[in-house]
Amino acid sequence: MATSSPSCPDLFPLSVYESVRPDYRRIGIFCALGWFVGMTIMQLVTTHDSLILILSLNAVGAVFFGAVFALVMRRWMRRVMRELYDGTSPWMSPVPPGEYEARVMCSVMRGRIAVGGHLYVGRELWTFMPHTKNLRGHRDPMRWERPGRLVLSTEPIQSRWLTVILGSKTSDRLVVSLGGLRDQFVVPDAKLAVFELQKILSVSAQ
CATH architecture of 96-205: Roll (2.30)
Give the tens place of pLDDT for each residue, 117-169. 999 999 899 999 999 999 999 999 999 998 989 999 998 876 565 566 665 56
Cα–Cα distances in Å, from 77 out to 71, 80, 143, 184? 10, 5, 29, 23
Average pLDDT, the chain: 86
Q: What is the largest CA-CA distance in the chain?
A: 78
Domain ranges of the chain: 18-86, 96-205
Closest by CA position to 174, among listed 123, 122, 124, 128 = 128
pLDDT at 204 over 80: no
Strand residue runs (E) in 61-130: 102-110, 113-121, 125-130
pLDDT at 75 over 60: yes
Q: Which element (helix H / strand E) includes 175?
A: strand 173-178
Q: Which element (helix H / strand E) includes 173?
A: strand 173-178
The model's pTM is: 0.81
Encode burial over 103-121: b for 16+ CB neighbours within 10 A, e otherwise.
Answer: bbbbbbeeeeebbbbbbbb
